[in-house]
Structure 1
Amino acid sequence: MSVFDKAKDKAEQAIGTAKEKLGEKTGNQDMANSGRADQTEGEAKEAGHDLRDRAEGAVQGLKDKFNK
């Protein structure tokens, strides 16, 4: 995963946490729910990028193994 992708995913999670807390403090349940959704989306994207990177590494490992 590129550093940019990781930073975007972490930022989305941080914004979600802030929105959730602000929504809870102000009694705005819609904002709190939106913040939780942002956090979940950021975590899902991060997991997807991690999975993609592991798959790419496995493919490269196989290529290296068979090209020797």
Structure 2
Amino acid sequence: MGIEDKANNKFQDATGNAKEKVGEAVGNDDLKNEGKGDQLGAAVKDGAEKVKDAARNIGNKLKG
């Protein structure tokens, strides 16, 4: 996983967390749920990148 991808995922997760907290504080369920969705999206992308990295590492071990 590239550094830029990691940074983007962390930013999306942090932004989602902030939206969720603000939504809770002001009683805005739409904003709260949007924040949860942002966090979930970041987690899914992070997981997919980890799978790609693991597959690449296995491929490299089989070659070398």
CA distance in 1 between counterparts of 2:10 and 2:43 reads 8
Query: TM (normalized to structure 2)?
Result: 0.98
Gaps of 5+ in 1: none
Structure 1 runs, 4 residues or longer, greater than 6 Å off: none
Q: Does 1:61 align with 2:36?
A: no
Match of 2:46 in 1: 46
The structure with the largest alpha-carbon Rg is: 1
CA distance in 2 between counterparts of 1:12 and 1:63 reads 35
User: For this pair of structures, how many residues does the alignment match?
Assistant: 64
How much has 1:10 moved relative to structure 2?
0.7
CA RMSD of aligned residues (A): 0.4
